Amino acid sequence: AGSGPSPAGGSEGPGTSKRNSTTDPLKRNEDMAKVEVTVLCLILFLALSGNLCVLLAIHTTRQKHSRMYFFMKHLSIADLVVAVFQVLPQLIWDITFRFYGPDFLCRLIKYLQVVGMFASTYMLLLMSLDRCLAICQPLRSLHRRADRVSVLLTWLLCLLVSIPQIHIFSLRDVGNGVYDCWADFIQPWGPKAYVTWITLMVYIIPVLMLSVCYGLISFKIWQNVKLKTAHGPSTSLSSSSRGGAAFTRVSSTRLISKAKIRTVKMTFIIVLAFVVCWTPFFFVQMWSVWDTNAPHEGTSSPFIIAMLLASLNSCCNPWIYMLYTGHLFHDLARRCLCCSGGQPRRLLAGCCCCRHCTSLACTLPRNAPAQSRTFWGQHMCLDAFMLNYSEDPICLRFAA
């Protein structure tokens, strides 16, 4: 914290211990601090509201047990960890300028800051690996227990690799009796080694693995398109000769393929946002510890902007989810609008829903003819079902 979510820095970022003689740790740019506080307030609001909406939408959807939603849920939880334990402490720190708390709290905050960084990165990597397997090995057996174990191991790994933060950071005197939460490296090469290690583990190695995943995905999709193009005429002949059943199977196969490609596109955009937001951050971190003439993070505008951009990543993902899985938020908004206090509200000329039931009840007045009521109810409920973009069967109840 301090000037950003720096993994190995003091209140002014990594490497400050070796540059204290040239930079006064007791002063800061107040105008820049005001801008930073404003931006962090906006980022915190967007990250909390967006990711909480994603979790609520996934919890209320009928497909909440699907593999993609399972990984989306844990990526949103990781982004919430970033918002609560990285952005919020950073915001408070920028307001107070100094860390006002015990040594235990200093170490805990610095530990949880890096846990969020690791978790957000590795959950994204896990989601990308799942999409890669879904495209490259579509016939493999799927085990929900394996997904849960992989996510659990990922969280445990993030908790373990963040432990050095507890030993590196402490509440110590930064000059003239002023105490702050700063890093303390025994050896002069300590900041270089630790920042380089964090950069490798959180950025370089994951980006290389993500590149391999999407290289394989692109190659497999290209093969699939080429195969469909080559067998297009024969598929059409087969479907016309065998009747409507064969045509239905071909159409279903194409729909499933499009659904997978849509989730791959969503994950790729999330990866792209991760690279865009975190590249400047790790660049300035490496620059600050490897170049003795680098600008100081607390006074250089480009350094502060790069660190704010890293925090922005935690509020980008919900908007990407909304772009590619808009039906999640559509369903959530519909439930919020039509359900109030557990009592069903009428929608669109008679359709109503309730959180206590799993059906849409479509009714006409009792004095309407039975046949017209049945036809009208089926028509309206089918329209409501189609507007829901639901991929799973839904139980429709027609009131008599």
CATH topology of domain 9-332: Rhopdopsin 7-helix transmembrane proteins (1.20.1070)
* pLDDT for the residue 354: 42
Average pLDDT, the chain: 73
Instruction: Report the percent of the chain where pLDDT is more than 70.
Output: 63
State how far the Cα of 179 lies from the Cα of 102, in Å rounded to an integer. 10
Instruction: Evaluate if residue 351 carries a pLDDT over 90.
Output: no
Better-scored residue on pLDDT, 352 or 218:
218
Contact present, 81 and 117 (Cβ < 8 Å): no
The proportion of the chain whose per-residue pLDDT surpasses 90, expressed as a percent, equals: 23
CB 229 within 8 A of CB 223: no
| pLDDT tens sequence across 38-57 | 889 999 999 999 899 888 88
pLDDT-derived band of residue 7, with 50, 70 and 90 as boundaries? low
What is the model's pLDDT at position 78?
Answer: 93
> How high is the pLDDT of residue 162?
93
User: Does the pLDDT at position 324 exceed 80?
Assistant: no
CA distances to 74, 241, 281, 316 from 309, in Å: 22, 58, 7, 11
CB 353 within 8 A of CB 331: no
| 8 Å CB contact between 180 and 190 | no
Say yes or no to pLDDT of 66 above 80: no
- Which is more confidently placed, 288 or 143? 288
pLDDT at 2: 41
pLDDT value at position 381? 41
Place of tokens 């109030």: 340
Structure tokens at 112: 């949880």
Confidence band (pLDDT; 50, 70, 90) for 398? very low
The residue ranges of every structural domain in the chain are 9-332, 341-398
The model's pLDDT over 130-187, given as tens digits with 9 standing for 90+, comes to 888 888 877 665 667 788 899 999 999 999 999 999 989 988 887 777 788 888 888 8
Q: What is the pLDDT of residue 20?
A: 40
Any idea what DSSP says for residue 203? I
Could you report the per-residue pLDDT of 356-394, keeping only the tens digit for each?
443 333 444 445 555 444 444 444 443 443 334 333 333
Q: Tell me the whole-structure pTM to 2 decimals.
A: 0.71
Question: Can you give the length of the chain in residues?
Answer: 400
Reply yes or no on whether the pLDDT at 80 is more than 90.
Answer: yes
Q: What is the pLDDT of residue 96?
A: 85
Instruction: Return d(Cα 330, Cα 129) in angstroms, integer.
Output: 28
Instruction: Report the pLDDT averaged over residues 280-306.
Output: 79
Exposure class string for 368-380: b at 16+ Cβ within 10 A, else e:
eeeeebeebbeeb
Lookup result for tokens 């660049």: 283
User: Which range, 73-77, 219-223, 356-360, has the best average confidence (pLDDT)?
Assistant: 73-77
Pairwise CA distance, residues 312 & 318, whole Å = 12
Distance CA 300, CA 29 (A): 9
More confident residue, 212 or 136: 212
H or E element that contains 173: strand 169-175
Span 296-316, mean pLDDT?
A: 77
Q: Considering only residues 262 and 373, tell me which one the structure prediction assigns the higher pLDDT.
A: 262
The pLDDT-based confidence of 225 (bands split at 50, 70, 90) is confident
In this predicted structure, what is the pLDDT of residue 137?
78
Residues 37, 94 contacting (CB under 8 angstroms): yes
Average pLDDT of the residues in 113-127 = 93
